[in-house]
Structure 1
Amino acid sequence: MTSTTALKVGAAYIRVSTDGQMDLSPESQLESIVQYAKSSRIVIPKEYIFMESEGRSGKKADNRPEFQRMIATAKTTPKPFDCILVWKFSRFARNQDESTFYKGMLRKKLGIDVISISEPVLDGMYGRLIEMIIEWQDEFYSYNLAQDVTRGMKTKAQNGGYQCRPPLGYRIPYHNATPEIVPGEAEIVRMIFDRYVNHKMSIFALTRYLNSLGLKTSQGKPFEKRSLEYILQNPAYAGIVRWNRTCNETNEIRDRSEWIVTKGTHPAIISEELYNQAMLRFESEYRPKNAKPAEVTKHWLSGMLKCSACGRTLSSCVRHTKSGDHYSFQCYGYLKGKCRASHYVTEKDIAAAVLNALQEVLEAGTVDYEVKSVVKAEDSHEMELLKNMVDRLELKEKRAKAAYMDGIDSLEEYKQNKLLIQKERETLTESLKQLEAAGPEENADSGSQERQMLDHIRSVTDILRSDRFSALQKNVALRSIVDRIVFHKDTMHIDVFYYLKEQSREQDPRKPA
C-alpha cells in the first residue's frame, strides 16, 4: 500500500447548470467527486466543499458567492488544499477568459490544480490544449443556447406574451399562464394613475398618500418613490408588452429602435390613453437621480416653470455667496442636450414676472382657468378598498389568535400582533371617516366660481409676498391654483395656466402645513 504521505487534500466545487442542459443534481455531483477522491487518495474535508445554490450562472464568477469564497480560501497561507475537483470543467466556468484567469492563478501562483472527474486529460501541454478545447466548446454551447433562448423570448414578445414577474395588480395562476387581474390590487393601480394624471399629484406626494392609507406593494412593503416610478412607466397596465428595453448585464436602457412593443394577450387595468398621459407628464418632469422632490424644494417656483420650446421643466440651481443664495433656472432638456433653446433666467426676473401676473389678474378682476371636477367614483373605489382592508383585519386577528393557541407564538408575541392590528385598524378607520366626511360641494354658477378663483389667487399672492411662510408652503400654495407656468425666453413673457377644483378638499393655503 502507498504511504499515507501520498495523500492530498482537495476541495470540491459544485454548481448546477441554469440552461436546461442534462446535468447531475448537486448531491450526485458531490457523490461522484467523493468516489473519485477516494480512488485517487484525495481527502476532502467538509469545510472545503463549496456548493452554489441553484440558479447560479457560470458565465460570471462575480455572481457566484461560493466560488469567490473558494478562491479566497485558496489564497490563504499555508495552502489549504492541493486541488479543486469538479464534475465538469463547465461547472468551474462557462467563460473561457475567466476560466483561464482563475486556473492560471491557481496553478502558477498557488500550486492548485483544477481537475474534472468526468473529462480526464493528459499531463503536459497537450493535455492543457485539450482542456482549452473543452472550455471553448462549453462557452460556445452556452453562447448558442443563450441565442436560442433570446430568439424564443423575442418571438413570444412579438406575439404579445408576457415574460416578466407579474407587477402589482396581476398574478400568474400557474406556470406559463397568461397574467390575470387581482381586483383589489388593480384598484390601487387605477388610483395611482388617476391621482397622478387627473389630480396632478407628484410622485412624492402620491407615495405619502398611499402609505397613509396603509396600502402595500405586491411584495407587501410600503410604497417608495421608485416603486411608483416603475408602475407609472409600465405599459403592461395598458395591456401592452414591452420587451428588450434594458440590457441585463448593465441595466442600461437600449435605444428605442431595439425595443419590442406590441399588444399583449393579458387584460388591461387602465386605458392606453391614460397610460400615455402619465408617460407624457413623467418624461416632461423627469428628474435626475438623487434630485429632491418638489415637496422638499428650496424654492417656491421649483417644478412649476416649463420650457416654451420643448415643454420640459426648468431646473433650479442655487449659488451660495456671502450676500445670500442666488437662484437661476434653465431648461432640463437643454442641460441634457435634448433641447436646443436655452431658457436661462434668474430667480429675480422670473419671480417678479409671476407675482406681476398674479397681481394683474386681481386688478383686472377676471381670469381664464380650467375647472377640474372630482369624480365621485374615485372616492367610492377608495372607500371600498379601505373597507375591504378593514374586513381583512378580522382574518389577521383570527390567525394571530390561532398561532397563540397552537403554541406557535408566545403570549407576548400575540399581544404585540394585536397591538399592531389595532393601530392599523385605527389608521384605516380614520381614513374612511375623512372620505365619508368630505362630501361633494354644491355646484356653483360661473360667476361664483370666478369669484372663488380670484379669492384663491388673492390668498396665494399674499402667501408668496409674505416672509412668514417657508418655500415649501409657498410652493404648495402656488400648486393649488396653478397647473404650470410656461416661460418664453425670446420675449421674456410667461403664460400662467390656472385651475380650480370644483370640489376642493385641500387645506386652506393660508394655514401653514
Structure 2
Amino acid sequence: MPKFFLYARKSIDDEDRQVLSIDAQINELRQFALKEKLEVVSEFTEAMSAKSPGRPIFGSMLKQMECGKATGILAWHPDRLARNSVDGGKIIYLTDIGIITDLHFPTYRFDNTAQGKFMLSIAFGQSKYYIDNLSENVKRGLREKVRRGEWPAWAPTGYLNDYKNKTIVVDPDKAPIIKKLFELYAGGAFSLEELLQYAHQLGFIGKKGKPVRKSELALILRNPFYYGIMRYQGELHQGSHPPLISKKLFDQVQAVLEQKARPKQRKPEKFAFLGLMRCGECGASITAELQKGHVYYRCTKKISPCEQKFLREEALLGQINSAISRVYIDDEAKEIILRRFEESASQAGKASSLQTRLAKEEITKLDEKIEKVIDLYISKEISQAEFQKMKAKLVNQKKDLEERLGE
C-alpha cells in the first residue's frame, strides 16, 4: 500500500486570501484520506508563498520522498505544491522517474499517465499565471494610485492611514513635533544628536512604538514627503496629502545636513564696521582684531605715518551714535521719502501681479515637460536613471513655483 505525505500551505500574501486556512486544509485532507483509504505517514505544514522556489519544508518533504519514506503526496490543490516553474517541474520530474507515484487532491484529479502529467503541468502553469497576473495587477494599481498623488503604503511618521477613505491624514500628535524638529535643525544650532535628545524630551515615538532612533530621524529630515512630494521606487510624484512644511524649509534643512557632513573649518572672524570707515587723520583703511574678548579697530597706516591708536568697538559705537543723532530730516524731505515709498509699493503690486501670471504659465510649461519626459522614457529614448533625475528636477521646480504663488 503506497504511503503518503500530507502537505498543507497557506501564504501570508494576498495571493492566498481566499484559500482555506492550514488547519482547515489539514482537517479536510484527513477526512479525504479516510474516505479514500490513504495511509498518511507524516504531515507537513508551511506558511510561505510558493511564487518563488526555496520553501524549506517543501524541500525537506521532497528529499524524504527521494529517500523512499513515501511515494505519494496529499494536498488540497496543485497550487498548494507549486506556483513557480521550478517547483512544478520538480514534482513532474519526480513522477517521471518514479519517486512520486501518486498525487491526490480533493479538488483536482490526477492520473499518473502521460496525459495526466500533461494536465498537471497545465495546472501548475495556471497557478503561475495567476500569481504573475495578480502581481502585475497589484503593481499596476499601485502605480496608478501614485500617479493620482495617493501614497500606496504605510503612512510615514507624522501621518496616519485612513482605512475608511483609503488615504492618509495628518497625525495630530506627531505632526507638530516633526514640523518643530525641521524648524530647529534648519537654524543650524542643533546637531543631529542634540535634535534626537530634544525629540526624546518631547516624547516623540517612531513607527515601532519606541523612541525615535538617530537613523530614523535622519530619514525623516531627508524625506520630501513632508513638503508634499512622494518618492516612490526612486521616482518623485506630486502628492495629494497635506504637507507639514514648506519646500523652502526642507531645502534649508538639506543645506544644513550637507554642511554638517563636511569637515569643519575654522571660520574667519566677522567685524561689524569693517570696510565702512577710513582713518580721519591719514585716510588709510581701518582694520580690526579680537583681543581678550574685545574687538579693537585701528588704522592700517599704509598711506603715511599716523598717530592714531587702537579704539575699542564700544567706543567706536558711541562715536557712530553721536554722528547719527546729529542727522535731521525736515518735513519736505519726509514728504519726498513717503511719496517714493508709495510709488515703490504701487510698482511692486504691478510686478507681483505680473510675476503671478508668469509663474502660472511656467507651471503649465513644467507639466508639459514632465509629460514629454514620461513619453521619452516609455519610448525607451532615455534610461530609467535619466528619467528619474529629469523628472525629479521638474517636479521640484514646479513645487517651488507653487509655494511662491501661495506666499
Per-residue deviation, residues 276-302 of structure 1 (Å, max 9, x unmatched): 3334555x47xxxxxxxx8xxxxxxx7
Change over 3 Å in CA distance of 1:132–1:76 after alignment to 2: closer
Q: Which has the higher contact order (CA 8 A, sep 6+)?
A: 1
Q: Is the 1:242–1:262 Cα contact (8 Å) retained in structure 2?
A: no
Structure 1 segments unaligned to the other structure (5+ residues): 1-5, 246-258, 286-293, 295-301, 306-353, 370-449, 458-513
Per-residue deviation, residues 158-189 of structure 1 (Å, max 9, x unmatched): 11112111222222243443222222211221
Query: Which protein shows a greater Rg?
Result: 2
Structure 2 counterparts to residues 277-296 of structure 1, below 5 A:
277-279=252-254, 282=257, 284=258
Matched residue pairs, number? 280
Q: Please tell me whether residue 71 in structure 1 is matched to residue 50 in structure 2.
A: no
Q: Is the 1:15–1:51 Cα contact (8 Å) retained in structure 2?
A: yes
Match of 2:118 in 1: 129
Moved over 6 A (4+): 450-454
CA RMSD in angstroms comes to 3.9
Q: State the alpha-carbon separation in 2 of the partners of residues 277 and 151 from structure 1.
A: 36
Structure 2 counterparts to residues 242-261 of structure 1, below 5 A:
242-245=231-234, 259-261=235-237
Q: State the alpha-carbon separation in 1 of the partners of residues 212 and 249 from structure 2.
A: 21
Q: Please tell me whether residue 29 in structure 1 is matched to residue 29 in structure 2.
A: no
Of 159, 168, 177, the match for 1:179: 168
Q: TM-score, normalised by structure 2?
A: 0.57
Match of 1:8 in 2: 3
Q: Is the 1:11–1:81 Cα contact (8 Å) retained in structure 2?
A: no
Match of 2:242 in 1: 267
Change over 3 Å in CA distance of 1:263–1:43 after alignment to 2: same
What is the CA distance between 1:115 and its match in structure 2?
Answer: 4.2
Change over 3 Å in CA distance of 1:114–1:195 after alignment to 2: farther
The 3-state SS of whatever aligns with 2:238 is strand
Match of 1:304 in 2: 263
Of 229, 239, 242, the match for 2:228: 239
Structure 2 counterparts to residues 428-443 of structure 1, below 5 A:
none
Change over 3 Å in CA distance of 1:119–1:304 after alignment to 2: same
What is the CA distance between 1:193 and its match in structure 2?
Answer: 1.7
Q: State the alpha-carbon separation in 2 of the partners of residues 303 and 109 from structure 1.
A: 67
- Which amino acid in the other structure matches residue 49 of structure 2? S
What is the CA distance between 1:267 and its match in structure 2?
Answer: 1.9
Identical-pair percentage:
23
Change over 3 Å in CA distance of 1:215–1:99 after alignment to 2: same
Per-residue deviation, residues 185-235 of structure 1 (Å, max 9, x unmatched): 112211332233222544344334433554321322122233123322333
Change over 3 Å in CA distance of 1:146–1:73 after alignment to 2: closer
The 3-state SS of whatever aligns with 2:14 is coil
Change over 3 Å in CA distance of 1:153–1:215 after alignment to 2: closer
- Which amino acid in the other structure matches residue 261 of structure 1? H
The 3-state SS of whatever aligns with 1:133 is helix
What is the CA distance between 1:130 and its match in structure 2?
Answer: 1.8
Q: State the alpha-carbon separation in 1 of the partners of residues 89 and 144 from structure 2.
A: 36
Match of 1:94 in 2: 83
The 3-state SS of whatever aligns with 1:19 is helix
Q: Is the 2:2–2:71 Cα contact (8 Å) retained in structure 1?
A: no
Q: Is the 2:225–2:231 Cα contact (8 Å) retained in structure 1?
A: yes
Q: Please tell me whether residue 48 in structure 1 is matched to residue 43 in structure 2.
A: yes
Q: TM-score, normalised by structure 1?
A: 0.46
Match of 1:230 in 2: 219
What is the CA distance between 1:95 and its match in structure 2?
Answer: 1.4
Per-residue deviation, residues 329-360 of structure 1 (Å, max 9, x unmatched): xxxxxxxxxxxxxxxxxxxxxxxxx67x75xx
Q: Please tell me whether residue 159 in structure 1 is matched to residue 132 in structure 2.
A: no
